[in-house]
Amino acid sequence: MSFLDLIKKGIVEEFTGTVSLNGVLLSLLTAFAIAIFIVYVYRRTYSGVIYSKSFSLLLILLAMVTTLVVRTISSNLALSLGMVGALSIVRYRTAVKDPIDTGFIFWAIMGGIMSGVGIYLVAFISSLAIGFLFMIFYNFESRSISRFLLIVKFDDAVHEAVYAALKTMPKHKLRSKTLVGQNVELTFDIEISDKSERKVDSLKKIPGVESVSLISYQNDIGV
């Protein structure tokens, strides 16, 4: 008997045996509800530049597909081993840029597995706990200190005044320095809280300073 025949036989046995249509629909609805909550948490805590709608749809699809797979193979050992063997030879080439996205993928899979095996209450409670704890921690981190790129363009004749003002700034580190004739451009990695924004504004008041820019970014490299 071939591998495809084994899968077909297992699916037929499963759906003509213990699996009921009502149970499958209930599992899908549970997985869908959990996935919607996961997407909500993802959107509330997303800190990248461009929000990916396709990734949110992937989380919903992943939870529901996982539920269907678990419902199909939950009581058939041979089919379970066959599915695991098939998934083990698949190579996934899509790179996940943000490590947090990997966590949301595993969260969606977890919700799908729990919904598939029928432990709906545990699935809801655990997902709610994970979501609220993650949002609390995220809000606590985002309200403390933010990291920015500080870009200052000025005439070289006033460099002493600029450097004197920079000494009063919060913790910062020079990333690049560009010289074009008499014009200087400095780029710093700087930590800024709400109280220290006025110190950055003081740079604009120095005669000879052309522009001062603050760019928010995600710092994945330790300073």
pTM score, whole prediction: 0.60
Are 12 and 106 in a shared domain? Answer: yes
> Residue 179's domain is classified under what CATH number?
3.30.70.260
Q: What is the pLDDT of residue 57?
A: 92
Q: Extract long-range pairs of 219-223: CB within 8 Å, 24+ residues apart.
A: 219/147, 219/189, 223/173, 223/189
Res. 69: pLDDT tops 60: yes
For 180, the domain range is 144-214
- Nearest-5° angle of CA 117, CA 121, CA 124? 100
Which of 141, 159, 179 represents a domain boundary (last residue)?
141
Mean pLDDT value across residues 74-95: 58
**Average pLDDT value for the chain:** 77
Distance between CA atoms of 216 and 149, rounded to whole angstroms? Answer: 6
Q: What is the pLDDT of residue 4?
A: 55
Structural domain count of the chain: 2
For the stretch 98-149, pLDDT in tens is: 778 888 988 998 998 888 888 999 999 999 999 999 988 887 766 555 677 8
Residue 178 placed within a domain: yes
CA atoms within 13 A on the CB side of 202: 13
The separation between the first and the last C-alpha atoms of the chain, rounded to the nearest angstrom, is 59
Residue 101 placed within a domain: yes
Is residue 20 very low, low, confident or very high in pLDDT (cuts 50, 70, 90)? confident
Are 32 and 51 in a shared domain? Answer: yes
Is residue 37 very low, low, confident or very high in pLDDT (cuts 50, 70, 90)? very high
Give the helix/strand (H/E) hosting 210: strand 209-216
Mean pLDDT value across residues 161-169: 80
Are 190 and 99 in a shared domain? Answer: no
DSSP string computed for 136-158: HHHHHHHHH-EEEEEEEEEEGGG
Residue 221 placed within a domain: no
Which of 141, 174, 198 represents a domain boundary (last residue)?
141
Distance between CA atoms of 111 and 67, rounded to whole angstroms? Answer: 8
Are 125 and 153 in a shared domain? Answer: no
Mean pLDDT value across residues 70-98: 62
Are 74 and 158 in a shared domain? Answer: no
Are 23 and 90 in a shared domain? Answer: yes
CA atoms within 13 A on the CB side of 90: 7
Which of 141, 158, 193 represents a domain boundary (last residue)?
141
Distance between CA atoms of 83 and 175, rounded to whole angstroms? Answer: 50
Res. 38: pLDDT tops 80: yes
Question: CA–CA distance from 186 to each of 86, 98, 116, 209 (Å)?
Answer: 54, 28, 56, 11
Are 30 and 47 in a shared domain? Answer: yes
